Amino acid sequence: MRDIIQLLPDSVANQIAAGEVIQRPASVVKELVENAIDAGAKRIDVLIQDAGRTSIQVIDDGKGMSETDARLAFERHATSKIRQAGDLFSLHTMGFRGEALASIAAVAQVELKTRQEGEEVGTHLSVSGSRFSKPEPCACPAGSNFMVNNLFFNVPARRKFLKSNSTETNNIIAAFERIALVYPQLAFTLSTNGVETFCLRPGNTRQRIVDIFGKRINQDLLPVKVDTTMCRISGFVGKPESAKRKTPHQYFFVNGRFMRHPYFHKAVQQAYERLVPEGEQTPYFIQFDVDPGDIDVNIHPTKTEIKFENEQAIWQILNAAVKESVGMYSDVTAIDFDTVGKPDIPIFNPTAGADIPSVKLNPEYNPFHVSNTSRSAGASQWQPQTDQSAAVPDKWEKLYEGLKPSQPVEPTLFGDEPEQDEEAFTDKSPAHYQYKGRYIMTAVKSGLMLIDQHRAHVRILYERYLKRLKAHKMESQKLLFPEMVQLTPQEANTLQEVAGDLHDMGFELTDMAGGSYSIQAVPAGVEGVNYASLITDMLAQAAEKAGAMREDVQQGMALSLARNAAIPVGQVLGNNEMENIVNSLFACEDVNHTPDGKKIIAILRQQEIDLLFD
C-alpha cells in the first residue's frame, strides 16, 4: 500500500503560514516597520501605492544586513531576536518568530537593498513567490530598503477579497499610528500615492499624539503616571467632555508593543462612571512597563493579544490611577469674590409677585380726524390744508372690513407637515404632558403612552433624510461665515470615498490643505449644531461601515445627521410641538424603535395603573 503522507514544499508551507501573518497590506507595513525598529533605525519612511496592492516600500537607516543575513532572513524561523526557548520570557524586541519576511516573500515580489555601516557596497536580493534570485552587489545607503510589489499576486482569492482602497489605506494608517505612538523618539514618514500623509519628527509622547491626531486633542489630555513594584503605568487619558460615541482614540501599549485588552479597557471606562453620558467613551493612550517574565506575547502571530500574570492587581492600579488623574485635573469653576463696582443683580424669588406690564391705549384716537388746532413753534404757524383733509374719504373704516387678524400660528419643529389621517388617532388625547423634558405622555385607549421625544425625533428625521438623500433632493443652506474642521488622515481618506453622499446631503466642503476643510454649506434644518463635530461623527459612521453597500453607508450617515439635528433631551416643548412629534412618528415606517434598535414607545396599561392604587 502506498504512503499518502508527505512533507509539503517550502513554498506551499510559507503560503499557509502567510495566511495568519499577512492578512492584508497593513500587515506587511506592520511587520517591516517593526523589523526596522528592531534594527535600531532612527528614521523610517513608508511609501504606499494603490493602498498597498501595487507596492509597499519601507526604508530605514538601521544596522543593515550582510549578504548571508539578507538571504537567510527570508527563511522560516530565521531570526536574530532569540536563541533559545528561555528568551521568550525576556523579550525586548518587537519581533521574534522569524516568520514575517518568509510569509511576505511567499505571496509577493520582494526586492531588498541593504548595507551595513562601514561596508563599501550593499546587497541586492529579489524574491518572488519564495523563489530567490542570486544576490548582487549594489550601491545604497546604510540600512535596509524593502520593496514589496504585487501583494497576493499568486493568491488571487486573497487579493480578490481585499477591501476598497480607502478601507485598506485606513488600515495601513491605523497600523502605522500604533507603532509611531509608542516610539515618539523616532522619526517617521508615510506617503500614499506620492502624497505625504505623515511627517513625524522626534519628540515626546504628548507631541506625537498631537502630531498624529491634531491640535484639538491637546487640550483634552490628562497625564497618568504611577510607579509600583508590579508595573509602571504612564500616558494620557481624555477629559470627560472629550467622550465620543464613535471611534474614540484608545490605545494600550506594553513594553513598546500595541495590544488589545478588553479587561483593562473596562478599568479605564469605569473610572469615568457617571461622568460621561451612557454609550460614550473617552480616549486614552496608556503605556505599561512590565517585567517581560510576567507577560506572554507568544499567543497569536499578530502579537496583539497578551496575557498578564497579575491581571487583577494591575486592573486595580490602572483604575485608581485614572480616577486620580480625572479627579486631580477636573476643571472647577472659580468663585469670584471681587464684586466692587459690579451691578447688583437681584436674586430670583419664584414666590414673590411681579407686576404684569401693561400698555395704555386711547380707543378714541383716529389719525384721520385732524383737528384745526394751530401749533406754534416760535413765530411759525401750522394749519392743515383743506385739499388734504378733503382727500380723506367718509366712512373709511368699511375699506378695512374683513382684514381682521387671524389666530397666531405657533412655529413647529418640522415646518410644513403632511396632513395626517385623524381617524388613526381617535383614541389619543389632544393634550399632552411633558415629563422632565424627556418624555411625552398622552392618554390612549389602552392606558398611558410614553414617548421618548429625542428618539422619536431621530426616527422622524432619519426617514426624512434617507428619503431625500435617495431622491437627491436635500436642501442646502450656505453659511454666512464658513467654519473650519480639522480631519485626521483616516477621516480625510474616508471623506474622499463619501464626498458624493455628503454633497447629496447638502454639505459643501472645500479642501484647505493640511487636513483642514472649510464648511461652506450645510443641510437646511440643522442650524445650531456643531458642524465640525457633525462632520467627524458622520465620517466615523461611514468608516464603521467601510466595505458595505452604499445604501448601508447612506443609512449610517443619515442616522448620524438625525442624531445631531434631533431635539435634545431636556428641551421644553409646547403642546402643538408635541402633537407634531406624535403625528409624525406614527407616520413613520417603524414606530417602536430607532434606526439603531432603541425603544421609542412604552405603554402603561390601564390595569397596571389600577393596581398601583389597590
Q: Which residues are within 8 A (CB) of 227 and not within 5 positions of it... i.e. 6 or more apart?
A: 233
pLDDT on residue 340: 56
Alpha carbons 172 and 25: distance in angstroms, whole number: 7
pLDDT on residue 11: 62
Judge whether 567 and 574 are in contact, CB under 8 Å: no
pLDDT on residue 77: 64
pLDDT on residue 236: 95
Q: Work out the burial of residue 31: count CB atoms within 10 Å of its CB; fewer than 13 is exposed, 13-18 middle, 19 or more buried.
A: buried
For 415-472, give the secondary structure using H, E and C.
CCCCCCCHHHHCCCCCCCEEECCCEEEEEECCEEEEEEHHHHHHHHHHHHHHHHHHHC
CA 58 to chain centre: 29
Alpha carbons 540 and 532: distance in angstroms, whole number: 12
DSSP state of 241: G
What is the three-class DSSP state of 564? helix
CA 432 to chain centre: 37
Judge whether 458 and 465 are in contact, CB under 8 Å: no
How distant, in Å, are the alpha carbons of 1, 207, 216, 420, 515 from that of 509? 73, 28, 19, 37, 12
Any idea what the Cα angle at residue 292 is, between residues 290 and 296, rounded to 5°?
Answer: 105
Judge whether 484 and 532 are in contact, CB under 8 Å: yes
417-423: Cβ within 8 A, 24+ apart: 417/580, 417/583, 417/584, 418/587, 420/583, 420/586, 420/587
pLDDT along the chain (614 residues), means of 10: 66 58 87 90 94 93 89 74 51 59 88 91 90 88 94 86 87 93 94 92 93 88 91 92 83 89 91 85 92 71 73 92 84 49 61 72 73 46 46 63 56 45 49 85 85 90 84 80 87 84 84 86 79 84 70 80 84 86 87 88 86 83
- Quote the pTM value: 0.69
Alpha carbons 245 and 413: distance in angstroms, whole number: 25
**Residue 15, Cβ neighbours under 10 Å: how many?**
20
Alpha carbons 240 and 607: distance in angstroms, whole number: 43
Q: Which residues are within 8 A (CB) of 613 and not within 5 positions of it... i.e. 6 or more apart?
A: none
How distant, in Å, are the alpha carbons of 16, 161, 236, 553 from that of 540? 34, 23, 22, 11
Judge whether 141 and 118 are in contact, CB under 8 Å: no
pLDDT on residue 375: 45
Alpha carbons 500 and 593: distance in angstroms, whole number: 29
Place of cell 519612511: 45
**Residue 551, Cβ neighbours under 10 Å: how many?**
11
523: Cα within 13 Å, side-chain hemisphere:
27
